[in-house]
């Protein structure tokens, strides 16, 4: 399987693999993306966006209440 040993300019020896045995080896590929997974990710991202909007509205309401409380309007 290993062919010849060569040296580079720095004196390091490198072994080369023979091409033949690798051509006959079974190739493994990652599974294709699942449509259900992509839909789940999209749903989670939509929920995160809705929560961020809700958080911003809540912060605005709290700031409004604080302003009114310090102005004596409550």
Domain map (residue ranges) of the chain: 34-74
| pTM > 0.75 | no
Please report the pLDDT score of residue 11 as a whole number.
65
Which DSSP string do the residues of 57-71 spell out, in sequence order?
HHHHHHHHHHHHHHT
* Strands 13-17 vs 2-7: parallel, antiparallel or unpaired: antiparallel
| The pair of three-digit structure tokens given for residue 23, joined into one six-digit string | 């051509």
Residues 6+ apart with CB under 8 A from 57: none
Please report the pLDDT score of residue 55 as a whole number.
98
What pLDDT, in 10s, does the model give residues 7-56? Answer: 555 667 767 777 777 777 788 888 887 888 889 999 999 999 999 999 99
């Amino acid at each position: 399987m290993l062919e010849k040993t060569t040296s580079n300019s720095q004196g390091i020896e490198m072994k080369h693999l023979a091409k033949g045995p690798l051509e006959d080896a079974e190739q493994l590929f990652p599974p294709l993306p699942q449509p259900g997974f992509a839909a789940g990710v999209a749903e989670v991202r939509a929920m995160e966006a809705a929560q961020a909007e809700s958080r911003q509205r809540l912060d605005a309401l709290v700031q409004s209440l604080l302003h009114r409380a310090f102005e004596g309007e409550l």
